[in-house]
Chains A and B, each alone.
Chain A
Amino acid sequence: MAPPVAAPPVSSDLALRLHAVRKQYQDHVAVRDLSLAVPRGTVYGLLGPNGAGKTSTIRMLMHIIAPDAGTIEVLGRPASDPGLTDRVGYLPEERGLYRKMRVRDVLAFLARLKGVPRREVAHRIDAWLERFQLRGAGADWGTARVDELSRGMQQKVQFIGALLHEPELVILDEPFSGLDPVNAQALKDTVLELRARGRTVVFSTHVMENAERMCDAVCIIARGEKVLDGTVASVRDAHASRLVSLTFDTTPEGAVRDALQNPRHVRRAPLASRHCEVELHDHVEVGTYVQQLLGAGAQLEKFELVRPSLHRIFLERVGMDGVETGMRGHG
């Protein structure tokens, strides 16, 4: 197990602060000693495979379920503070609205629940409906019943519902699932615009491309545990030394090939004639490895450290043995 981390001092610069949070269901641990911090005004990605504990974590942030251990602070206050609900917007993974209600009535209901003053509700709804092309040019889906809308439209309505009260913090659980490219782009634009206005957006996804393009910082979790976190740039930099691109003068053979693919040093080293992209074990220094190659008589034409994509890092840390690491408790 990881040594207990001392809780950092309370900071109002943080939109979210989790410390040693744990959630256990009857037969399994959903979230294990999770600690992370999300600065205000950033877009933060919670990444992980299905069943990693993302939704459990998000539900604890929303105080829909309570953690078994650890502390959660939202906007500088304990997550259980009832005053928080009006400052946070939430799009759950399991989506749904009252099917028989009119869109406008559902939105008004959600807005009123979040404390939006009655006189402001109508024009806010209009503005958002127009923005997501649900109103205007002769059509007004606001007067339709929810079950008359397509799934994509329903999702947009639900997204609007999460934003009507202009929350300081927006939490979106798998917001892109089920959206066509056009609506996905509209969603991305909205997220970036929220950040531009100083809001904090936290979203979970298992699509790394979205995270890489939109997030300032990410946290990858697997099997309920944090695998890594940090800004996207720092995460990629940290993994740069794990990945080495090598080009030889001639196709390596014999001792050079043995040194190149030495399983004590490399996780993978697929050789394609003169070229090889090597993935090193965590404990292996790039310098030491290259020196051993040269010592074996390798003639290097080119050698560079590759800055991997989040997708690559995710696969490397979670897809390969990261999952098993998670299972064992800690690597």
Chain B
Amino acid sequence: MAESKLLTVIAREYLERVRSRWFVAATLLTPVFLVLLLFLPTILGERERRNETGTIRIVDATPDSVGVLVTTALRGGVTGDTARAEWVAATEATLESVEAQAVADVASGRLVGVLVLDTATISLGRPRYAGRNTTALLTMQQLEGAVTRAVLTRRLEARGLEPRESASLAGLRLRLETERLTERGRGGSGRLSILFAIGVAVTLYLTIFLHGSNVMRGVLEEKQTRVAEVVLSSVSPDTLLLGKVLGIGAVGFTQLLLWTASSAGLLAIRAPLLARYGLQVDAFALPDLGWGLAGIVLLSFLLGFLFYAALFATVGAMVSSEQDAQQAQLPVVLLLVLSLAMVQGIVTNPDGTLAQVMTLVPISAPIVLPLRLSLTPIPTFEAVGAIVLLALSAALATLLASRVYRTGVLMYGKRATLREVWRWLRAS
């Protein structure tokens, strides 16, 4: 009988929320946001590339035609995309008039910009560019890179190297940069697995925060509308609180499942879909994580949610108005934010002392444990210890919450002081 009452409470909490417009919107919009995140950069980038009709004129007054190399690079495709470029030869004597003509063409809109290359400026390391798109940082970087490589190639040639050899030597710099990036991560897919780990941590933070504060709001609503008293004449406060926490937890769980499923689906169709529109994409392979990690993530959500929901429920039982709740929830929110703030430090050093400590501390364990696990293997005893500690803390927090709740849920009109709450704790 008591079980059926608990189920009735759970069902109400779950159905009322899942049916609400807010839930539908949040659940649907998040994957839409995800779609934008996955598809938009590629699509936008492509559109920009196609719309880039402006031409850069390269005025070349160098004796060894550095400009030819630059033009080839910009057209060709070292990076595969750039504005169209046209090359105009000049001499020291004609430079001034040719440049003036190009500037006039920029002003009249026929050109986007003009790049002037002559021996003097190159030896100073400061070739000139004038144009309407000087704020386009990427284009400027590409331009700089192309000029640097061209000059380098010519200098190597001047030292007697074969043109091919010097070109490949100059090109090597690009490779080095890429390698520096990957050094941060571990192995080939390091960057992706960091992104994924941060994604997991942020998602856990968001769902725990969102649904935890929903528990607080639910408790507060029952106090404010006074409906608590009617319900408490039918069920015990413990049943009501437990039903609320479990019902709302199930809402969060549903949302997580829907998001996971839709993200997986989107990821699967992303490449073929983009390819159909003729867009090329790099592989977006997620690190191979296995069922173990998935289990830990879900367990972390459940226990972390229980822990924080209990704290939020305690806050809800202590206050009587939305404004009071905003203030009183601050300590709980800070605990959550604290664990999120640790993410950066832990990503850069997932085996460090900070990471180890934060894994074991229950307030951050639900976020840090899955984060670390998706970055690096950690000793079993550490993971098990973290889970056990978290489970114990969740149980303790629930006990605390139910005691405060029992008294607080019928207190209307004022905010309980900590001393009062302490008395409630000892009274029950």
Contact = CB atoms under 8 A, between A and B. Distances in A.
Interface of A: 26, 59, 62, 64-65, 82, 85-86, 88, 90-92, 94-101, 105, 109-110, 112-115, 158, 161-162
Contacts of B229: 59, 64, 92, 94
B230 A161 contact: yes
Contacts of B12: 109
Interface in B6-59: 8-9, 12, 16, 20
Interface string B197-238: 000000000000000000000000100111101111111100
A95 B226 contact: yes
Contacts of A94: 226, 229, 412
B16 A98 contact: yes
A114 B225 contact: no
Interface string B244-268: 0000000000000000000000000
Contact of A92 (B2, B224, B226): B226
B5 A113 contact: yes
Contact of A99 (B1, B225, B410, B423): B225
A26 B245 CA distance: 31
Contacts of A99: 221, 225
A88 B16 contact: no
B4 interface: yes
Given A94-B412, A98-B221, A113 B16 contact: no
Contacts of B224: 96
A113 B2 CA distance: 9
A114 B221 contact: no
Contacts of B16: 98, 100-101, 105
Interface string B410-426: 10100000000001000
A85 B227 contact: no
- Specify which of A64, A65, A113 lies most central, judged by the most chain B CB atoms within 10 Å of its CB: A113
Contact of B226 (A26, A65, A96, A112): A96
Nearest to A94: B226
A64 B410 CA distance: 9
Given A90-B230, A92-B229, 15 more contacts: A59-B410, A64-B232, A64-B410, A82-B2, A86-B1, A92-B226, A94-B229, A94-B412, A96-B226, A97-B225, A98-B16, A98-B227, A100-B16, A105-B16, A158-B230
Interface of B: 1-2, 4-5, 8-9, 12, 16, 20, 221, 224-227, 229-236, 410, 412, 423
Contacts of A162: 230
Given A64-B410, A65-B410, A97-B225, A114 B230 contact: no
Contact of B225 (A62, A90, A96, A105): A96
In the A-B complex, the 6 residue pairs with the closest CB atoms: A96-B226, A96-B225, A94-B226, A113-B234, A90-B233, A92-B229
A95 B412 CA distance: 12
Contacts of A97: 225, 227, 230
Given A100-B16, A109-B8, A113-B5, A85 B234 contact: yes
- Specify which of B9, B234, B236 lies most central, judged by the most chain A CB atoms within 10 Å of its CB: B234
Contact of A98 (B1, B2, B225, B232): B225
A153 to B, nearest CB: 15
A95 to B, nearest CB: 6
Contacts of B1: 86, 115
B221 A62 contact: no
Contacts of A110: 230-231, 234
A183 B233 CA distance: 24
Contact of A115 (B4, B410, B423): B4
A25 to B, nearest CB: 11
A62 B230 CA distance: 10
B195 to A, nearest CB: 38
A113 B16 CA distance: 16
8 contacts: A64-B229, A85-B234, A92-B229, A92-B230, A94-B412, A96-B227, A97-B230, A98-B221
A86 B221 CA distance: 25
A17 B221 CA distance: 34
Nearest to A115: B1
A15 B318 CA distance: 35
A62 B410 contact: no
Contacts of B230: 90-92, 96-97, 110, 158, 161-162
Contacts of B234: 85-86, 110, 113-114
A302 to B, nearest CB: 53
B230 to A, nearest CB: 6
B75 to A, nearest CB: 62
A114 B1 CA distance: 10
Contacts of B233: 62, 64, 85, 88, 90, 92
Contacts of A96: 224-227, 230
Contacts of A90: 230, 233
Nearest to A114: B234
Contacts of A115: 1, 4-5
A79 to B, nearest CB: 11
A142 to B, nearest CB: 17
